[in-house]
Every structure is written in C-alpha cells, then in structure tokens.
C-alpha cells in the first residue's frame, strides 16, 4: 500500500486585496518552512494568481486555482481554461466545491468533466465531496459522497484518482 502525502490547501474564496494577499502570502511562505510531511497550496481568487505565483517562487507552497473551465481557450466569456492556469504556474485546481454546486448548479457530470480537463493539462484536481447538513440529517451522506466520486469514475475510471486529491467538505 502506497501512502499518499497529505495536502493542506487554503481556498481564499472571494476575499482579498493586494495588501492583504501580500501579507498573507508572506506569512504562509514563512510558516510553511516549519511544516513537514505534507503538501501545501494556496488557491487565491483569479485576479491574484499572478501576484501569488510570484510571491511563492522558490517556496514549498504550490499555487492552485479555485475553478477551471471544461472548455479549451475560445469564445467563453468569464471562463478560465486549464492551459491558462498552467501558464500561470498553477499546480492544483479545486473542482466540485460545494459553493459551485449550490450557487452555480454544477452537477456531478460537469465536475467530472472539469476533473478530466484538469488532468489532461497536467493540473492536480482537488475534488470536493461532501453532503449538506440537511442531507446528513436525512442519513444521505454516503449516497451523496458516492455520487460525487462516481461522476469521476464513470467518466475517467478509478485510475483517475491517482492524479488527483479528494477533499471531504461536509
């Protein structure tokens, strides 16, 4: 059995200013030096990717993005292609976050397509799985999490998980 290295990834959601991002990144980079045996990544909002990438150069903290499009570059206003993320130095990308599912109607099929697109471009997808409080109270936790995982398995096969990370976020 191969043990995978744990990953600690910070999702900054829709927060930040240049000054706050600079201060936070400085703290993360200096604090990361003392942490061993786990990967570390930050996933700032898209406008701060370049700034974060520059601040993380030479550190052990990886850069991640909060979402990725299923589309290749083209006429898709507001979308961000996987190739753009790799061009900015991203290693990771979050897919299937509960907020994307709730507020943007992303379903398991779309999330699986984002997962596959990320892998295709050499990104490590962080697949978010987890139930809502209401689903947990109804005893649906296992069914919901299985559906999130099955979406990727049905599209890409179980071997796709060797190229990604699963994050449980109930």
pLDDT of residue 1: 62
Integer Cα distance of 79 and 87 in angstroms: 15
pTM of structure: 0.94
104 carries an active-site annotation? no
Catalytic option among 72, 109, 120, 169: 169
Other CB atoms within 10 A of residue 72 CB: 12
Q: What is the 3-state secondary structure (H, E, C) of 75-113?
A: CCCCCCCHHHHHHCCCCEEEECCHHHHHHHCCCHHHHHH
pLDDT, tens digit, 9 for 90 and up, residues 13-37: 999 999 999 999 999 999 998 888 8
pLDDT, tens digit, 9 for 90 and up, residues 45-92: 999 999 999 999 999 999 999 999 999 999 999 999 999 999 999 999
97 carries an active-site annotation? yes
Catalytic option among 54, 97, 104, 120: 97
Integer Cα distance of 114 and 80 in angstroms: 11
């Amino acid at each position: 059995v191969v043990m995978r290295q744990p990953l600690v990834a910070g999702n900054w959601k829709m927060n930040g200013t240049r000054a706050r991002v600079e201060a936070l990144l400085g703290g993360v980079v200096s604090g990361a030096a003392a942490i061993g045996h786990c990967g570390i990544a930050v996933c700032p909002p898209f406008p701060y990717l370049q700034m974060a990438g520059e601040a993380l150069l030479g550190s052990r903290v990886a850069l991640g993005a909060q979402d990725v499009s299923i589309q290749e570059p083209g006429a898709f206003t507001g979308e961000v292609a996987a190739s753009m993320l790799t061009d900015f130095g991203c290693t990771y990308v979050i897919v299937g976050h509960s907020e994307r599912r709730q507020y943007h109607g992303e379903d398991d099929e779309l999330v699986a397509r984002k997962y596959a697109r990320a892998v295709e471009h050499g990104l490590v997808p962080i697949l978010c799985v987890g139930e809502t409080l209401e689903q947990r109270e109804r005893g649906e936790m296992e069914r919901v999490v299985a559906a999130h995982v099955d979406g990727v398995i049905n599209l890409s096969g179980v071997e796709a998980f060797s190229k990604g990370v699963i994050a449980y976020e109930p």
